[in-house]
């Protein structure tokens, strides 16, 4: 079997990689476990030097790495460069703050001295998706490595070139051999890897279905897991919002990475008094987007990552229309080569339609009318997901009170949802559990150890 990288803008085969056997995976896992056994005892300051060098290497090769990202999964080249820069940022942040985040916490007890240590947990299996093929990996791996863990990466099959490139970057940065390795394995081997006693925990970014499968395997093996499983983020426009600003940010949030982002705004819930003026502004901006070759500097929306993903998205749009939604812009694939889909706006979207209930992974915006702020909140929470949400209003004091009622792992007020190395990232409900980034993220895969001294 081969893992094939295909350019989604043209359909051209870029590279083929031989899929590993279970025995080959086992040998690499053994090597990572040996490497971790030494890495865990390396001083934090020394780990930080490696991580800082990694940030420099990323920036030094930014353009070449961005081209690989754009070729393999279709991200516009400007966004790919920004993704590489963000990876460098999380490396720098992890290097700078790991000592603070992992320093012992002294607590009162009946001992003369008692405190909590944060020790490395072991080798962590990372099952990562294709949509941000560098950032998703670094978002987890930089903190995990700084905490003293080893990393075994099972990347999406269609981004194997990215996976091996990341491994190469760590080697170039002077990390010990085998402390981070990529395995070229299909999903059929994941359960067996999780069951291996040399795996201490699992992190997954992917679909809810993938989360259930990985969670079941990890549960049987009693392994710690962190899950980020996507979302259907509400973008709540209240009647006192700055509509020009909100419409511009709505366009960016819905079409960044061709709409293939777990934290992209997907359901645009708008109070009725401003529905039409918001829609007019939003449509103008969506209609003006440049769709095309992701390697072009002018392109704002590239292709979806695979043809089957475009077909799935179009079926969701068609089913929503059959149930009463109206297409006011786009609503169909772009003819010709590549997995392109037109920026799309659906109005009249209601609960029960795929455009409301399901995650639409592509440049399709669902417009939902709300009588008032109270109904807007009800609609926002009427979902199986709970990753991010945004509120748009000029009354930020009121918005902060409303934020407490939104069922999501993050609420952004007058800003579209994004991940930031300084802030915890993760969701609730079917969007997963656990957190990445900040002090909360680095402590997910450590042994929180009590030490009691008489």
Question: Could you list the active site residues?
Answer: 228, 262
CB 82 within 8 A of CB 58: no
What burial class does residue 219 get, using C-beta atoms within 10 Å of its C-beta: 0-12 exposed, 13-18 middle, 19+ buried? exposed
SS3 343: coil
| Distance between CA atoms of residues 210 and 42, nearest Å | 34
* Angle formed at CA 284 by CA 279 and CA 286, multiple of 5 degrees: 90
Give residue 149's Cα distance to chain centre. Answer: 21
Whether 73 and 65 have beta carbons less than 8 Å apart is answered as no
User: H-helix or E-strand containing 399?
Assistant: helix 396-403
364-370 and 180-182: which strand pairing? unpaired
* Long-range CB contacts for residues 247-252, cutoff 8 Å, separation at least 24: 247/278, 247/281, 247/282, 247/284, 247/285, 248/281, 248/285, 249/392, 249/415, 249/416, 250/282, 250/285, 250/365, 250/416, 251/282, 251/285, 251/286, 251/289, 252/416
DSSP label at residue 380: H
CA distances from 137 to 59, 83, 290, 292, 343 (A): 16, 11, 29, 27, 28
Cα–Cα distance for residue pair 230/226, rounded to 1 Å: 13
**Side by side, which strands form the sheet with 388-392?**
326-329, 344-347, 364-370, 265-271, 233-237, 388-392, 410-413
Question: What is the rounded CA–CA span in Å between residue 309 and residue 172?
Answer: 35
Contacts of 272 (CB under 8 A, 6+ apart): 369, 370, 371
HSE at residue 298, side-chain half, CA atoms within 13 A, is 5
* Whole-number Å distance between alpha carbons of 106 and 451: 9
Asked whether 237 and 348 are in contact (CB, 8 A), the reply is no
């Amino acid at each position: 079997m081969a893992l094939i990288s295909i350019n989604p803008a043209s359909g051209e085969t870029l590279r083929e990689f031989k899929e590993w056997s279970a025995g080959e995976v086992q040998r690499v896992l053994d090597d990572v476990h040996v490497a971790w056994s030494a890495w865990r005892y390396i001083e934090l300051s020394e780990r930080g030097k490696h991580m800082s060098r990694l940030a420099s290497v990323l920036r030094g090769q930014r353009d070449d790495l961005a081209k690989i990202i754009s070729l393999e999964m279709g991200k516009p080249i400007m966004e790919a460069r920004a993704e590489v820069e963000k990876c460098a940022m999380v490396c720098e942040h992890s290097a700078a703050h790991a000592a603070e985040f992992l320093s012992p916490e002294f607590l009162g007890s009946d001992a003369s001295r008692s405190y909590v240590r944060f020790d490395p947990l072991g080798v962590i299996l990372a099952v990562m998706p294709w949509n941000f093929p560098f950032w998703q990996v670094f978002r987890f791996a930089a903190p995990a490595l700084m905490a003293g863990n080893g990393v075994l990466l099972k990347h999406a099959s269609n981004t194997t070139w990215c996976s091996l490139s990341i491994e190469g970057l760590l080697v170039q940065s002077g990390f010990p051999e085998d402390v981070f390795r990529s395995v070229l394995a299909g999903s059929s081997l994941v359960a067996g890897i999780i069951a291996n006693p040399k795996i201490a925990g699992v992190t997954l970014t992917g679909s809810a279905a993938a989360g259930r499968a990985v969670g079941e395997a990890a549960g049987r093996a009693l392994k710690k897991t962190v899950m980020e499983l996507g979302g259907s983020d509400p973008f709540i426009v209240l009647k006192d919002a700055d509509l020009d600003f909100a419409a511009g940010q709505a366009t960016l949030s819905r079409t960044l990475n061709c709409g293939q982002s777990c934290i992209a705004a997907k359901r645009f819930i708008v109070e009725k008094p401003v529905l039409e003026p918001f829609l007019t502004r939003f449509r103008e901006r969506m209609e003006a987007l440049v769709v095309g070759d992701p390697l072009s500097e002018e392109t704002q929306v590239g292709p979806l990552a695979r043809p089957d993903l475009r077909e799935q998205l179009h079926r969701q749009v068609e089913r929503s229309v059959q149930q009463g939604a109206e297409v006011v812009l786009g609503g169909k694939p772009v003819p010709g080569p590549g997995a392109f889909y037109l920026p799309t706006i659906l109005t009249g979207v209601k609960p029960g339609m795929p455009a409301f209930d399901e995650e639409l992974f592509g440049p399709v915006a669902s417009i939902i009318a709300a009588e008032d702020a109270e109904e807007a909140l009800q609609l926002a929470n009427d979902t199986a997901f709970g990753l991010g949400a945004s509120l748009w209003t000029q009354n930020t004091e009121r918005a902060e009170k409303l934020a407490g009622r939104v069922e999501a792992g993050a609420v952004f007020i007058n800003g579209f949802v994004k991940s930031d190395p300084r802030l915890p990232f993760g969701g609730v409900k079917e969007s997963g559990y656990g957190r990445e980034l900040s002090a909360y993220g680095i402590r997910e895969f450590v042994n929180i150890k009590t030490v009691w001294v008489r």
